[in-house]
Amino acid sequence: MRGKKLLAGIIIFAVAPHMPAKADSTADFYAGAGREMKMVIRSEPGSGYDQLSRLLARHIARNIPGTPNIVPVNMPGGGGITAANYLANVAPKDGSVVSIVGQGLVADQALGLSPQLKVDLDRFNWIGNLQSSNQILIVWHTSPTKTLEDAKIRETSIGTTGAGSASTHYPAFYNKVLNTKFKLIFGYTGGPTINMAMERGEVEGRGTNTYASYLATTPHFIERNLIRPLVQIGIRKDSNMPDVPLLLDQNIAPENQAAVAFMSKAATMGRPFATTPGVPAERVSALRRAFDKTMQDPAFIAEAAKLKEEVDPMKGEELAQLVHEILQAGPAVRQRVLELIKTDGPSQ
């Protein structure tokens, strides 16, 4: 009997140290001397991406083994391309660099829209999605265009940054699949300048953004009914906008249905959070679990509410599958989408 107990003790001693090794090594890595994580922010300070990235950085660290210090670093340029290229080609491939990736970049890669995008986003390690809000086209409250049907009858001016940007793709797409008459006005530097142009009466609307982003960055637009959504694009209606028409529910010509399905999936990318390719699997798993815990963290939820940041999370595994599906769209679908989003005008 004594021999059996001794043998059992030897087995436990031999096996137990190996059981938590991965967890311990992950904590050791993130708790290493002087260890800092870098939160790369794809846009300038004060933007919606900036606010959400800094919010996440303040809370996720305590749920990562080793509780590393996370340092936000703004890296604007190319609608998120500069930051994505950094993650893919420059950043250490060890899980120490994370970023909320530009929501339009997965579709950009699938369609070959941006030669300057030097990444394969299917190789990124996707941690989770903070928001999956639909993209909406809105008009200022003074616009004579009040409904989607009005937009099919009268020309409605829409501010955009330039050909090749999401701000042009969506209204151009609507023009071709819904027969709307959106007139694209090029030359604005980004969403904030288009917002100012609407307020000044230079343009009537803005081609794409999310309800969550408007709520976080310009809440008075919603609280005072200053903007009017005409159409939303996504897999299902946003619960905040049950009366706004969903593109998938419209009468779509058969030859355009696959393209509409592609764009609807791409629109739900929201605010996808990732780390670099090549990160050890146990660290990816730890980051995903930390993200999931943070999304349920009362302190995070309270601060998100204070900042008017809507959080509608998607797990990393589901996000990775969505990215893969968009990137694996067939050549005929991709070609049709390219035809439908094409615009003539100054490049981005």
User: What tens digit of pLDDT does each residue of 144-162 get?
Assistant: 999 999 999 999 999 998 7
> Is residue 263 within 8 Å of residue 176, measured between CB atoms?
no
Residue 263 has pLDDT above 90, yes or no: yes
Q: Are residues 274 and 262 in the same domain?
A: no
Residue 340 falls inside a structural domain? no
Q: Are residues 169 and 254 in the same domain?
A: yes
Please write the tens of the pLDDT for every residue from 190-221: 888 999 999 999 999 999 998 988 988 899 99
Q: Are residues 173 and 263 in the same domain?
A: yes
Written as six digits, the tokens of 322 are: 């969505």
Looking at residue 79, what is its pLDDT?
A: 80
d(CA 103, CA 97): 18
Average pLDDT, the chain: 90
Looking at residue 346, what is its pLDDT?
A: 61
Residue 92 falls inside a structural domain? yes
Residue 167 sits in a domain whose CATH number is 3.40.190.10
Looking at residue 217, what is its pLDDT?
A: 86
Range of the domain at 232: 135-267
Cβ-based neighbours of 254, under 8 Å, separated by 6 or more? none
Last residue of a domain, one of 250, 267, 284: 267
Please write the tens of the pLDDT for every residue from 23-41: 578 999 998 756 789 999 9
Q: Are residues 55 and 152 in the same domain?
A: no
Angle at the Cα of 179 from the Cα atoms of 173 and 184, rounded to 5 degrees = 55
Residue 333 falls inside a structural domain? no
Instruction: Count up the domains in the chain and report the number.
Output: 2
Q: Are residues 294 and 311 in the same domain?
A: yes
Residue 318 sits in a domain whose CATH number is 3.40.190.150
Residue 171 falls inside a structural domain? yes
DSSP string, 27-88: HHHHTSTT-EEEEEESS-TTSHHHHHHHHHHHHHGGGSTT--EEEEEE---GGGHHHHHHHH
Last residue of a domain, one of 239, 267, 295: 267
Q: Are residues 215 and 91 in the same domain?
A: no
d(CA 215, CA 228): 13
Looking at residue 89, what is its pLDDT?
A: 97
d(CA 188, CA 190): 6
Q: Are residues 140 and 95 in the same domain?
A: no
Residue 149 falls inside a structural domain? yes
d(CA 183, CA 147): 16
Cβ-based neighbours of 104, under 8 Å, separated by 6 or more? 79, 80, 166, 169, 266, 269
